[in-house]
């Protein structure tokens, strides 16, 4: 999820810059809203894992994959909404992305290490950071320049759904 979270965060920043022409005065706000979303996601997941933990992990990944696929379709409708309204709604993008990333990390921690252990949590966090680094590099150097925002988002969403499906069938 680090890969897809970083990929969509970079994409969101680029979308903001395309729409408004500048990003530097708002990048702190965008990142802060993303971090608040991560906190909300971790809090909600720790309080409410109502069904099998592995199923919740798969469900979060599939929902985030669908979000990645739907996001470009919503962006195509921007001319209908108007830019003024979008500036007020734009913080919802990093908030939703942060909630998904935080929920996934908390659910993954419960699936792969039921008893809280700093060693296992550190390894999981390390792999999450590695995925984020790979996502940042791949999205900014390869995917966005070659395929554009819409195809890059669809690629990340399809990748999440494929990996979730493979994980689901590996549990059987």
Residue 8 lies in a domain: yes
Provide the token pair at 138: 């791949």
> Do 130 and 5 touch, CB atoms closer than 8 A?
no
Distance, in Å, from the CA atom of 89 to the CA atom of 83, rounded to the nearest integer, reads 10
User: Considering its fold, how many domains does the chain have in total?
Assistant: 1
Tens digits of pLDDT across the chain (172 residues): 889 999 999 998 888 888 777 778 888 888 999 999 999 998 888 776 545 566 778 888 999 999 999 988 887 776 666 666 666 778 888 999 999 999 888 888 877 776 656 677 788 888 999 999 999 999 999 999 999 999 999 999 999 999 999 988 887 7
End-to-end CA distance of the chain: 22
Residue 21 lies in a domain: no
Tokens 């390869």, residue located: 142
Domain that holds residue 65: 2-14+27-170
Residue 7 lies in a domain: yes
Tokens 């996601």, residue located: 41
């Amino acid at each position: 999820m680090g890969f897809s979270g970083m990929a969509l965060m970079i994409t969101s920043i680029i979308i903001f810059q395309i729409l408004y022409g500048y990003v530097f005065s708002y990048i702190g706000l965008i990142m802060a809203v993303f971090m608040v979303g991560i906190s909300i996601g971790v809090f909600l997941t720790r309080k409410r894992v109502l069904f099998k933990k592995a199923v919740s992990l798969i469900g979060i990944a599939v929902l985030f994959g669908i979000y990645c696929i739907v996001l470009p379709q919503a962006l195509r409708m921007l001319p209908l909404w108007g830019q003024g309204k979008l500036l007020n709604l734009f913080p919802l993008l990093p908030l939703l992305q942060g909630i998904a990333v935080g929920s996934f990390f908390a659910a993954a921690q419960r699936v792969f290490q039921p008893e809280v252990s700093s060693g296992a949590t550190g390894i999981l966090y390390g792999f999450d950071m590695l995925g984020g680094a790979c996502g940042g590099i791949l999205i900014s150097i390869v995917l966005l320049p070659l395929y554009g925002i819409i195809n890059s988002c669809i690629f990340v969403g399809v990748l999440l759904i494929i990996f979730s499906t493979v994980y689901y069938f590996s549990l059987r």
